[in-house]
Amino acid sequence: DESKLKKKAKKALNPKEVTVDVATQQMLEKAQHDGVETIFDRAVTMKACNIGAQGTCCKVCSQGPCRLPLPKGGIEGDDTRKGLCGATPETIAARNFARMVAVGSAAHGDHGRGVVETFIAMANRETEDYSVHDTEKLMEVAQYLNVPTTIMVEGEDGVKRPEMRETYELARDVGQKALAQWTSQEGEILSALQAPPARLEVWRDLDVVPRGIDREIVELLHRTHMGVDQDYRNLVKQCSRAALADGWGGSMLATDLQDIMFGTPYPMQGEINLGVLKEDHVNILVHGHEPLLSEMIVVASQEPEMLEYAKQKGAKGILLAGMCCTANEILVRHGLPTAGNYLQQELAIVTGAVEAMVVDVQCIMENIANVAECYHTKIITTNPRAMIESGNTTHIEFDEHSALEDARKIVRQAVENFPNRRPGVMIPNAKEPMVAGFSKEAIKYHLGGAFRGSYTPLNDNIINGRIRGIAGVVGCNNARTMHDSGHLTVIKELLKQDVIVLSTGCSAMACGKAGLLAPESAKVYCGPGLAEVCETVGIPPVLHMGACVDNSRILMAATEVVKAGGLGKDISELPAAGSAPEWMSEKAIAIGHYFVASGVYTVFGNGLPVTGSPKFQKFLFEELENLYGGKWDLELDPYAHARKMIEHINKKRAALGLDK
């Protein structure tokens, strides 16, 4: 009836209200025209659960779920809320938080394990498809894993001298030693020992240095079982172990071994947004997180026979582009185009121009299978861990031993799908040029002054105030908040105040689409000091450092800044802050927590499921600072969010005696 229709019309989505990105707006209009439902529609019609959002719904046993929302009007007197077993809001919120840290760390850790397994297969020459690309990085990793890089060889004169070990022999030992960081049960994981000595001391005092990557995650999960850890402070202690095992372990080793196999990123020109797709080409999107497969698809899609095959099918060529963090991986190493960030995955299919979306793990929305049914797109799953139960998806399992052959199979299927395009293809006319690929090595090179090998010039610029401080702004998109808007507002506010921004993941992509990854943007958005530095060096004011696992690069860049001197002895002393304005995934919570445990003030936007327990929230937002020097915060308003970060940076500058 009419009132229902009116209600529905009122609830209908207005594309301009949900995203600042023009290409996304255009494709949402097309989706509406084509009658295709997306996450944006469901975000309008489906409300989030208020109790879950507060973090106080306990469903760890079957006597519940016990729901402990904050009473209307807040808590007066003692907080007497309890679950059936007596669990307090603190225990419940801390357990829920802990489970997010565990899952997020597991996601990065399992990604890292896959990388190590492939690395070992490569080192054993069981696969010719991968090789050592960066021997310098191999040496560096060997050193921190205590693998000898030389052997003593007796010369003709009978004198023994050290000689470099054969590359693959060294890689074999590095691979095994890396794998041992997952399985180790006691002691300290070796990659974490790269942290500044003062930080390590903090961790040792608090007894949170990770003993083994897998162990910390399993123990954290155990502690959240019904009737185990019922002290939120003790739960957070184990959160720190697991999160540090992610940032300084699983993620860091994944990044480093990927660099050895595929090359350490250096700044590359690229392009971003849905406009990178080409109507007359076979368009293949690689979506997910692991570069192991996408690296092979890069090779397969450029082979002459494959290009010839595409021509036979009526296409001018093959366009390979990325989505989500896979995009970041192929961008920072090959300069390949990026189609978009997390909330654009369905919309890429809505163009009608994508022959295949090839997915591996993490951040892949189940609904892409439904959207694909309305067009001709093939969804190809590739990882045994991540399948989609839907008639129209194909699974082509990817095995590192037959990597290139598997990749060829996938590309061939995409090419064969080109003639099946349906009428109504529309690619938005929107793409931006960008520069990406700022590894810690690249930062050293570009900001390293005349000698191109030091962080000292960067520190000097921080000390003299041209650069006020450093911000790491990272993380996802979230359909509950305006797409890309939080990232861009926070970042532009920081730039205005001369804060240089390091970025990864979907945040970096939001910046790319808005032109902030182009060096010319410095004079438009930055305060005079930062603008001058960027223009002198020729860098953009936002440095795109890669995928979510590459947040470990931010930790190492911070460590380099500490080492270069003049800004204190620990990461917690730096004029620096972290932020995830539009976070949504559990990985973001793991990342947030390892930043906090590394001494960084970290602000999240969008809500945090801790607000239902004021005591637990206070612990995270205030008391942690006394332990770690870093703490959590939550700020929904992006302007206030940036302001809080700048205030923190100013506080740290004052403590260092700068700006006198």
Binding site membership: which residues?
49, 57-58, 61, 66, 85, 289, 325, 363, 476, 506, 548
Instruction: Compare residues 342 and 375 and give the one whose CB is closer to ligand XCC.
Output: 342
Tokens matching residue 496: 């205005």
Q: Please, which residues have CB within 8 angstroms of residue 388's CB and are 6 or more apart in sequence?
A: 364, 366, 368, 369, 379, 381
Chain centroid to CA 656: how far? Answer: 31
Cβ atoms of 295 and 263 within 8 Å: the answer is no
CA dist., res. 342 & res. 413, Å (int):
24
Contact between 505 and ligand XCC by CB under 6 A: the answer reads yes
Q: Angle 124-126-168 (CA atoms, 0-180°, nearest 5)?
A: 30
* CA-CA-CA-CA dihedral for 322, 328, 332, 336, to nearest 10: 10
CA dist., res. 527 & res. 173, Å (int):
48
Residue type, 99: R
Three-class secondary structure of residue 412 per DSSP: helix
DSSP line for 492-524: HHHHHTTEEEEE-HHHHHHHHHTTTTSTTHHHH
Given candidates 211, 215, 492, 587, which one binds ligand XCC under the rule CB under 6 A? Answer: 587
Q: How far is the CB of 26 from ligand XCC (least distance, A)?
A: 21
Given candidates 255, 351, 489, 585, which one binds ligand XCC under the rule CB under 6 A? Answer: 585
Given candidates 325, 372, 436, 542, which one binds ligand XCC under the rule CB under 6 A? Answer: 325
Contact between 291 and ligand XCC by CB under 6 A: the answer reads no
Q: How far is the CB of 503 from ligand XCC (least distance, A)?
A: 10
Instruction: Compare residues 298 and 479 and give the one whose CB is closer to ligand XCC.
Output: 479
Instruction: Compare residues 351 and 585 and give the one whose CB is closer to ligand XCC.
Output: 585
Please, which of residues 300-319 interact with ligand XCC by CB under 6 A? Answer: none
Q: How far is the CB of 580 from ligand XCC (least distance, A)?
A: 8
Instruction: Compare residues 459 and 602 and give the one whose CB is closer to ligand XCC.
Output: 602
Contact between 506 and ligand XCC by CB under 6 A: the answer reads yes
Q: How far is the CB of 547 from ligand XCC (least distance, A)?
A: 6
Instruction: Compare residues 376 and 487 and give the one whose CB is closer to ligand XCC.
Output: 487
Contact between 196 and ligand XCC by CB under 6 A: the answer reads no
Instruction: Compare residues 476 and 627 and give the one whose CB is closer to ligand XCC.
Output: 476
CA dist., res. 578 & res. 572, Å (int):
12
Q: How far is the CB of 362 from ligand XCC (least distance, A)?
A: 6
Instruction: Compare residues 177 and 333 and give the one whose CB is closer to ligand XCC.
Output: 333
Task: Tell me how crowded residue 546 is: count the other CB atoms within 10 A of its CB.
Answer: 29
Residue 383 carries which DSSP code?
B
* CA-CA-CA-CA dihedral for 503, 504, 509, 510, to nearest 10: -50
Cβ atoms of 112 and 168 within 8 Å: the answer is no
> Which residues make up each annotated binding site for [4Fe-4S] cluster?
49, 57-58, 61, 66, 85
Given candidates 119, 203, 342, 594, which one binds ligand XCC under the rule CB under 6 A? Answer: 342
Q: How far is the CB of 548 from ligand XCC (least distance, A)?
A: 3
Task: Output phi, psi for 187, to 5 deg.
Answer: 85, -150
Instruction: Compare residues 421 and 587 and give the one whose CB is closer to ligand XCC.
Output: 587
Contact between 575 and ligand XCC by CB under 6 A: the answer reads no
Residue type, 658: L
Q: How far is the CB of 85 from ligand XCC (least distance, A)?
A: 33
Instruction: Compare residues 196 and 592 and give the one whose CB is closer to ligand XCC.
Output: 592
Instruction: Compare residues 376 and 593 and give the one whose CB is closer to ligand XCC.
Output: 593
Q: How far is the CB of 334 from ligand XCC (least distance, A)?
A: 18
Contact between 40 and ligand XCC by CB under 6 A: the answer reads no
Contact between 548 and ligand XCC by CB under 6 A: the answer reads yes
Q: How far is the CB of 653 from ligand XCC (least distance, A)?
A: 29
Q: How far is the CB of 429 from ligand XCC (least distance, A)?
A: 25
**80, exposed or middle or buried, with CB in 10 Å at 0-12, 13-18, 19+?**
exposed
Instruction: Compare residues 483 and 587 and give the one whose CB is closer to ligand XCC.
Output: 587
Map residues 470-499 to x or -, x wherever contact with ligand XCC holds by CB under 6 A.
-----xx-----------------------
Q: How far is the CB of 194 from ligand XCC (least distance, A)?
A: 22
Map residues 354-393 to x or -, x wherever contact with ligand XCC holds by CB under 6 A.
---------x------------------------------
Residue 267 carries which DSSP code?
-
> Which residues make up each annotated binding site for [Ni-4Fe-4S] cluster?
289, 325, 363, 476, 506, 548
Map residues 261-290 to x or -, x wherever contact with ligand XCC holds by CB under 6 A.
----------------------------x-
Instruction: Compare residues 105 and 461 and give the one whose CB is closer to ligand XCC.
Output: 105
Contact between 324 and ligand XCC by CB under 6 A: the answer reads yes
Residue count, binding to ligand XCC (CB under 6 A): 13
Tell me the sheet residues that pair with 434. Answer: 270
Cβ atoms of 132 and 256 within 8 Å: the answer is no
CA dist., res. 352 & res. 469, Å (int):
44
What are the CA-CA distances from residue 149 to residues 144, 223, 242, 257 (Å)?
11, 40, 30, 16
Q: How far is the CB of 600 from ligand XCC (least distance, A)?
A: 17
Q: Angle 184-185-190 (CA atoms, 0-180°, nearest 5)?
A: 45
What are the CA-CA distances from residue 492 to residues 176, 473, 480, 482, 575 (Å)?
44, 11, 21, 16, 18
Q: How far is the CB of 475 from ligand XCC (least distance, A)?
A: 5
Instruction: Compare residues 103 and 415 and give the one whose CB is closer to ligand XCC.
Output: 103
- Cis bond before residue 423 (omega within 30° of 0): no
Chain centroid to CA 180: how far? Answer: 24
Chain centroid to CA 568: how far? Answer: 28
CA dist., res. 607 & res. 590, Å (int):
16
Contact between 260 and ligand XCC by CB under 6 A: the answer reads no
Cβ atoms of 589 and 97 within 8 Å: the answer is yes
Q: Which positions lie near ligand XCC, rule CB under 6 A?
A: 289, 324-325, 342, 363, 475-476, 505-506, 547-548, 585, 587
